[in-house]
Structure 1
């Protein structure tokens, strides 16, 4: 929640509801036909091999739209997991199950302020913003940062996600002490930021670090303990799909769905 949103008074309350409705109207919608999905903004025109589709400004989830050739598309509301599939990618984004663990373990909610580093595609930052948080996120690659800003607009959260170009480690002294409820990191130098977590987090605030490698994960966990953070724990994120056929049911024999390691700790 921004400072403007937190102002009291009945006029402010009604204005906030109005602003929220306007912001929701700007969020793109999904146009679905069979296995096809297109993310389109209200008022836009989209050309496909099935014809030209004009999306009304007042389009609503549940509507059915027709191309000029008569082919129908169903309108679906954008949901968090859809960001993973439709954001422009600059690398491997964090997968939905890992995002769910981050939000679930840290309790990110409306009114929280989050410091994020290693923006990349921006799926995590956007998901946290859609959960109600204000997010400041750092991305070192200027081109990646530009793509992330476009993705934030596409996800309808560009007003609450501040994508900054730069190395968060070089900006730590400029950040206000005890000003973040949660810190989320997906960077090779995450341990350097974790060392400063007690200074940056509010009492009871959380830090969550994602890493694909055990070595950096161990460094993060050790640094968290040295910084006197509490409840330091690391989990491997792994998931197997199930197969069901006439012979029986069993886990899939496809490669095991390991993605990485998540380390959590709390400031007390």
Structure 2
């Protein structure tokens, strides 16, 4: 196996519990732990260690998607990774799947799903959000996303879709076009920040069109681990982000 070399692109530098996502296109990197020359790292192997002028040691590793997503420009509130992960898991999203999304926003969910699915077609009615999302996709170099500045309620151009994901104020307005675009057995997933929105949407669904309708809330709580006997749940965490409703076309 060929050894991967450090390039000028984004790199992740670790020191203790801290990490820095940087590009090696500048000479000097200054931190509270001291300075060092970034250019000297180019061409070396991942896992290379470098010391600052104060003697502190960093290790350089390749960034993963959750690291890179922190650099995305944001406009509206994004769908978090914990919710994106539940969508991928409960729909069984795979590398052969075609996905339609509405309510692109900043494109966080789009980016996550694009890392799994074959192609994502994402609809955003607001031109300012559409521009932000396109810039984010270009910055990350993602090729399997088609971004559309269109109102999805007016129609979905694609067919034989495996998953339609909606993050919009009135998802029931896209009910008919989503049903038409989906394959039999495909999933409709709706993200809603408030339960009233969920109730309104669920009242709109019927068993003639969709089955296995379920709504979930995903709460991810970190723990503070302090060996040998001071481990406890963290009191500082993001609890509610939204509700996810899943339904399968029949």
Could you say which TM-score interval applies, normalised by the shorter chain? Answer: 0.7 to 0.9
The Cα RMSD (Å) is 3.2
The answer to whether structure 1 residue 94 and structure 2 residue 76 are counterparts is no
- Which residue does the alignment assign to 2:135? 150
Q: What SS does structure 1 have at the residue aligned with 2:218?
A: strand
Count of equivalent residues: 238
**TM-score if structure 1 supplies the norm length?**
0.75
User: Structure 1's 54 and 259: CA in aligned 2 closer, same or farther, altered over 3 A?
Assistant: same
- Which residue does the alignment assign to 1:264? 246
For structure 2, the residue ranges without an aligned partner over 5 or more in a row are 1-5
Q: Is the 8 A contact 2:165 2:190 kept in 1?
A: yes
Q: What SS does structure 2 have at the residue aligned with 1:175?
A: coil
Kindly provide the CA deviation profile for residues 70-95 of structure 1, in whole angstroms up to 9, marking residues without a partner as x: 98754333323224422121122111
- Which residue does the alignment assign to 2:20? 37
List aligned pairs for 1:3-22, cutoff 5 A.
Answer: none
The answer to whether structure 1 residue 219 and structure 2 residue 204 are counterparts is no
List aligned pairs for 1:140-179, cutoff 5 A.
Answer: 140-157=125-142, 159-170=143-154, 172=155, 175-176=157-158, 178-179=159-160
Q: Is the 8 A contact 2:222 2:237 kept in 1?
A: no
Cα drift, residue 164 of structure 1 = 1.5
List aligned pairs for 1:123-142, cutoff 5 A.
Answer: 123-142=108-127
User: Structure 1's 77 and 220: CA in aligned 2 closer, same or farther, altered over 3 A?
Assistant: farther
**TM-score if structure 2 supplies the norm length?**
0.80
- Which residue does the alignment assign to 2:100? 115
Q: Structure 1 stretch 118-127 or stretch 135-144: which is displaced more?
A: 135-144
- Which residue does the alignment assign to 1:62? 47
Cα drift, residue 237 of structure 1 = 2.1
In the alignment, the residues of structure 2 paired with residue 199 and residue 59 of structure 1 have an alpha-carbon distance, to the nearest angstrom, of 52
